[in-house]
Amino acid sequence: MHFDTLALRATHQPDSVTGAVVSPIHLSTTFARDEHHNLPGPYIYTRANNPNREALEQALATLEGGAVGMAFASGQAATMALFQALRPGDHVLLGTDAYYGTPALLEQVFHPWGLTYTRVDMRDLDAVQASLHENTRIVWCETPGNPMLTITDLLTVSRLAHEAGAITVCDNTWATPVLQRPLDLNCDVVLHSTTKYISGHSDMLGGALVFKRDNDFTQRVRAIQSLSGGVPSPFDCWLASRGLKTLGVRMRAQMATAQAVAEFLNGHPAIEQVHYPGLKTHPDYALIQQQMNEPGAMLSVQVKGDAADAIRFISKLHIFTRATSLGGVESLIEHRASVEGPNTKTPQNLLRLSIGLEHAEDLISDLARALG
Ligand SMILES: *Cc1c(COP(=O)(O)O)cnc(C)c1O
């Protein structure tokens, strides 16, 4: 089946009692036992499981091609659960072009608990090889990278990780399974901030993991999910499942506009550089053709000038909203270095754009006017 059909089938669960075509939201935190103290179904208590969460978890596992899905209260809660499954003395290898919250968790929370980590440019395969140690448990990839849209060769990095006895995790938030399925490229775990494209309307916070195999590590993370309780509400699970139904059409529309916006900005006299996987000038274009179905709807631009010039440019926009985050139906733009704070390595003249569902011509004329 094609992605769109699969997404609809995976999220379509008519209620067997009432016939309701759209599944109800099960707010109950607890589930009743019969006179023999038996439960009628697999649910006991909502921290451990809930029908709406289970539906979302199974849909995500289907769409990413994995064996087990797990939903969390945020992308960060999902990341947290994976690191919590490691032990003091374990080592994590992480890309330099990664969502800033991932190294922040390692540095501020897990380093004091005995995890070590190294950051490496994942495009430099010799450096990846040299940074893998006996105690490396996780190689953490994010592709396209954040905020420079660099591309990691998932097949090769996974091979190197496996040879060293580590697993590969891929943060697939920006790509979504519409663009690429990392588990098909030999990654072991996919991470999502469902806050972004999956829910798609900037109105819920959530995260998810999909595991290629159901093994001891997967079950350890499952136990952490239920014991530590960083789980999403039934309503948020329902919203994420609803988002999945339109993920394919939203992505395709947003990508077509992103391509037009990237082509307009590329070569504009006020722009120094455009980072977008759909441009032939992208340094990893050959790998993009191999690894990704589509280039996505995220792009970054470096304006000619400094932070003040970048901020002045976006102050003149009317259609783009100046806000962090991504993946919603409204176009957002942000000065990434300001959001990441004083220790950021993000270039000061860089702006990150999340392209929404407005008409391409309106977005382009907004940008053209603001650039002057
Ligand atoms: C937003 C984001 C996260 C964190 O997710 P939250 O839902 O905000 O906790 C992780 N990775 C990427 C790539 C993101 O964009």
Residue 173 alpha carbon to ligand 1 centre in Å: 7
Q: Is 174 in the pocket of ligand 1 (CB under 6 A)?
A: yes
The response to whether residue 349 sits with its C-beta less than 6 Å from ligand 1 reads no
124 is catalytic: no
What is the position in ligand 1's atom list of the atom closest to the CA of 195?
7
Name the amino acid, one letter, at 128: V
Q: Domains plus CATH for the chain?
A: 3-242 (3.40.640.10), 248-371 (3.90.1150.10)
| pLDDT given for residue 343 in this prediction | 85
Distance 195 CA to ligand 1 centre (A): 7
Determine the Cα–Cα distance for residues 51 and 67; give it in Å rounded to an integer.
18
How many angstroms is it from 67 CA to the middle of ligand 1?
23
Does residue 199 have its Cβ closer than 6 Å to ligand 1?
A: no
Burial 24-58 (b: 16+ CB within 10 A, else e): ebbeeeebeeeeeeeeeeebeebebbbbbbbbbbb
Positions in the chain short of pLDDT 70: none
Is the CB of 236 inside a 6 Å radius of any atom of ligand 1? no
Q: Is 37 helix (H, G, I), strand (E, B) or coil?
A: coil
Task: Give pLDDT, residue 129.
Answer: 98
Rounded alpha-carbon distances, angstroms, from residue 40 to 33, 35, 36, 241:
7, 11, 11, 24
Q: Annotated catalytic residue: which of 53, 123, 137, 196?
A: 196
- Report CA(46)–ligand 1 centroid distance (Å): 24
Q: How many CB atoms are closer than 10 A to CB 272?
A: 13
Within 13 Å, how many C-alpha atoms sit on residue 168's CB side? 27
d(CA 71, CA 245): 17
Of 43, 90, 99, 188, which one is the catalytic site residue?
A: 99
Residue 282 Cβ contacting ligand 1 at under 6 Å:
no
Q: Please tell me the predicted confidence (pLDDT) of residue 355.
A: 98
Please state, as a whole number, how many other Cβ atoms lie within 10 Å of the Cβ of residue 69. 23
Q: Is 196 a catalytic residue?
A: yes
Query: In sequence order, which residues have a C-beta less than 8 Å from that of residue 196 and are 6 or more positions away?
Result: 75, 173, 174, 325, 326, 327, 328
Task: Please provide residue 30's backbone torsions phi and psi, each rounded to the nearest 5 degrees.
Answer: -140, 160
- Nearest-CA residue for atom 4 of ligand 1: 75
How far CA 266 is from CA of 43, 237, 238, 256, in Å, comes to 53, 39, 39, 15
Write the residue with the smallest CA distance to atom 5 of ligand 1: 75
User: What does residue 100 show for φ and ψ, rounded to 5 degrees?
Assistant: -65, -25
**Nearest ligand 1 atom, CA 98:** 13
Q: Could you confirm whether 171 is annotated as catalytic?
A: yes
Ligand 1 within 6 A of CB of 173: yes
Helix axes 51-64, 234-245, angle to 10 degrees: 30
C-alpha–C-alpha distance, residues 76 and 40, integer Å: 34
- Helix, strand, coil shares of the chain as percentages rounded to 5? 40, 15, 45
Cis, peptide link before residue 144, omega less than 30° from 0:
yes
Q: What is the pLDDT of residues 149-159, one digit of tens each?
A: 999 999 999 99
